[in-house]
Amino acid sequence: MLLKQGDSGEGVRSLQRGLNKLGSILLIDGSFGPGTRDAVIDGRVALRQPGTPEADDALQQALAALPDPFPSLTSAGVTFIARAEVSGPREYRSKYKNPLWPSAESGITIGMGYDLRFADSDRLNADWSGQLPLDAIARLVEVLGGPGSADRLGRVRDVEVPLLAAVSVFLRRSLPDTLQQTRSIYPQVDDLTPPRRTALASLVYNRGTRLQDSDPARQDRREMRTIRKLLAAAPDSPHCNWTEPWHHVPVAFPLSTREGMTRPGITRGGLCRGGRGSGRCRRASGGR
């Protein structure tokens, strides 16, 4: 069935999910609006299927056949993390497609939080070759290392990083790095179900791996320490009902109020190693 701007429903939701496998970072709302139209245009280019900004059967089938972009995490979770970084595709194109200098401490930053302060020439070329023109990469090499400045930003301000290129590097470089950082403080993360693994990766992506409070009075890293303690809990832990061989590890804390949004896989009922809805986990002592 042909899908076009103005359409809505489950067919559009499926289309949006497929487009997100390419990196369109759409909100799955079932409404074929301007953002979905732009994503269809990008998708046709990426899949080498020229045509109108409408989704015919051939395009929909090609999108449905695509693998998940980063199988270690859920596709919905990957989109969530990316949208938390740049808000959405329209915002990316209006605010983030050109290099930025976000703060005095950061370097010149491109794509989805790719800070050139922490890259060298070899890494930049490995990450962005095939995504950006060679002359654009050569210009970015000039501002590698060290904090940014108005002069450095001025030298590369007109370099354009397309959305799908930014998401490609985000998937190939940023998310693997984030998952490795997550393992460094939560070594049991690979035992979790994909939605819960995604929740922890999202947490680390946004907050880093620091476990010590910056303000002891606020205890701003208390939840992160609680997660670590519960994931490492021994089988006789009073916090869990260890009746399944793969164990459950509950985490009950209001991350949505701390972070300003709800993370995929984190609910008031807990973040567990086991399947959803088993009813076998008890809340951590202290409740909410």
Q: Kindly report, residue by residue over 1-31, the tens digit of the pLDDT.
A: 999 999 999 999 999 999 999 989 999 999 9
Maximum mean pLDDT: which of 154-168, 200-214, 219-233, 252-266: 154-168
pLDDT of residue 250 exceeding 80 = no
Average predicted confidence (pLDDT) for the chain: 82
pLDDT(232) > 60:
yes
Is 153 in a helix, a strand, or coil?
helix
Distance CA 186, CA 158 (A): 40
DSSP code string of 33-100: -HHHHHHHHHHHHHTT----SSB-HHHHHHHHTSPPSSTTS-HHHHHHHHHHHHSSHHHIIIIISS-B
What per-residue confidence (pLDDT) applies to 206?
86
- Model confidence at 282: pLDDT above 60: no
Percent of the chain with pLDDT over 90: 61
CA end-to-end distance (rounded Å), the chain: 47
- Each residue's pLDDT tens digit, 77-104: 899 999 988 989 999 999 999 999 999 8
Give the lowest-confidence range in 108-117, 123-132, 152-161, 267-276.
Answer: 267-276
Q: Report pTM.
A: 0.75
Q: Place 112 in a pLDDT band, splitting at 50, 70 and 90.
A: very high
> What percent of the chain has a predicted confidence (pLDDT) above 70?
81
pLDDT of 68 higher than 60:
yes
Give per-residue pLDDT as tens, 173-213. Answer: 999 999 999 999 999 999 888 888 999 999 999 889 999 99
In the predicted structure, residue 254 carries a pLDDT above the cut 90 = no
Segments of the chain assigned E as strands: 109-110, 114-115
For the chain, the structural domain boundaries read 10-64, 98-161, 176-288
